Amino acid sequence: MNRKSKGIKAERDLVQLFCMTGDWLAIRVAGSGSSRFACPDVLAGNRIRKLAIECKTVSTENKYLSEADIDQIKEFADVFGAEPWIGVKFRSEWFFLSIDDLKKTNKGYAISKELAKNKGLLFEELIDT
Amino acid sequence: MNRKSKGIKAERDLVQLFCMTGDWLAIRVAGSGSSRFACPDVLAGNRIRKLAIECKTVSTENKYLSEADIDQIKEFADVFGAEPWIGVKFRSEWFFLSIDDLKKTNKGYAISKELAKNKGLLFEELIDT
């Protein structure tokens, strides 16, 4: 599976996680990687909360997000009225990081599996906060 | 342009309409026609309201929506926490119908351009209600 297919599969898995809860629904955003307007990869909602989620799959290496990536997520969440989250899939487990928890680097932000595990919320914690 | 491309173009135009307002954002839902979970074609939001929009392009003929189509939109809107709307594009103009305004038929619901024009809200009215 190439990187793009892997990303789409991860997003679909996350959508399914939300939809299986019964009181949340989620959708994948079409063209989230190429849209000229700010948008997340996945949008989830229930009657009270809306989550704008940028999804990353992490294996052994760190993942990097540019300042522009983060600004886009924040902008979308601010205007659309949603909470901005970074969803990190490591093996079959998801960890959800708030932007404040990302590690700042010279050029943007870095996510390691250690950071995701130490600072991230599990799915059950995310939907329960 | 085939029917599918025409539909995607119409959805993109609608997303752009929202994004150009400055205080709304919208996204197209990936796989909205084929998802196993209920979902609309377009989701729009600002800090207060969220709109789940099923999009139809209407030329001279009536468009039909099945009971199942309408149930799906209502279910999505109910769980996700959004207002359900049917967006009807006739030539370059959009009209937005609430489900109560659709004309009931034996097998589902019908939309004509007359119904859209008589009962539908214009874009400016939709975002201002």
CB contact under 8 A, B79 and A39: no
- Write the CB contacts of B93 (distance below 8 Å, at least 6 apart in sequence): B122
**Span A12-70, pLDDT tens digits:** 999 999 999 999 999 999 987 666 677 899 999 999 999 999 998 887 778 888 898 89
Q: Rounded to an integer, what distance in angstroms lies between the CA atom of residue B125 and that of residue B96?
A: 9
CB contact under 8 A, B81 and A46: yes
Task: Give the gap in angstroms from C-alpha A25 to the nearest C-alpha of chain B.
Answer: 5
Residue type, A122: L
Q: Rounded to an integer, what distance in angstroms lies between the CA atom of residue A24 and that of residue A35?
A: 25
Contact B109, B102 (CB under 8 A): yes
Q: What is the mean pLDDT of residues A118-123?
A: 96
Task: Give the gap in angstroms from C-alpha B125 to the nearest C-alpha of chain A.
Answer: 19
How many CB atoms are closer than 10 A to CB B9? 13
Q: Name the residue among B45, B47, B79 with its Cβ closest to that of A25.
A: B79
Residue type, A7: G
- For each of the domains in chain A, give its residue range(s) and CATH number, in order of start: 3-126 (3.40.1350.10)
Q: Rounded to an integer, what distance in angstroms lies between the CA atom of residue A21 and that of residue A41?
A: 20
Whether the complex's predicted ipTM surpasses the cut of 0.85: yes
The single-letter DSSP state of residue B50 is E
Mutation site, A79, A83, A127, interface B, largest B CB count within 10 A: A79
Q: Rounded to an integer, what distance in angstroms lies between the CA atom of residue A105 and that of residue B114?
A: 58
**Span B85-109, pLDDT tens digits:** 999 998 889 999 999 999 899 889 9
Using a CB-CB cut-off of 8 Å, the residues of chain B touching A15 are 37
Is B59 a residue of the active site? no
Stated pTM of the model: 0.93
- pLDDT at site B29: 95
HSE-up of residue B57 (Cα within 13 Å, Cβ side): 17
Using a CB-CB cut-off of 8 Å, the residues of chain B touching A79 are 23-25, 45-47
CB contact under 8 A, B28 and A31: yes
* Closest chain B CA to residue A23: B79
Pairing between strand A42-45 and A50-58? antiparallel
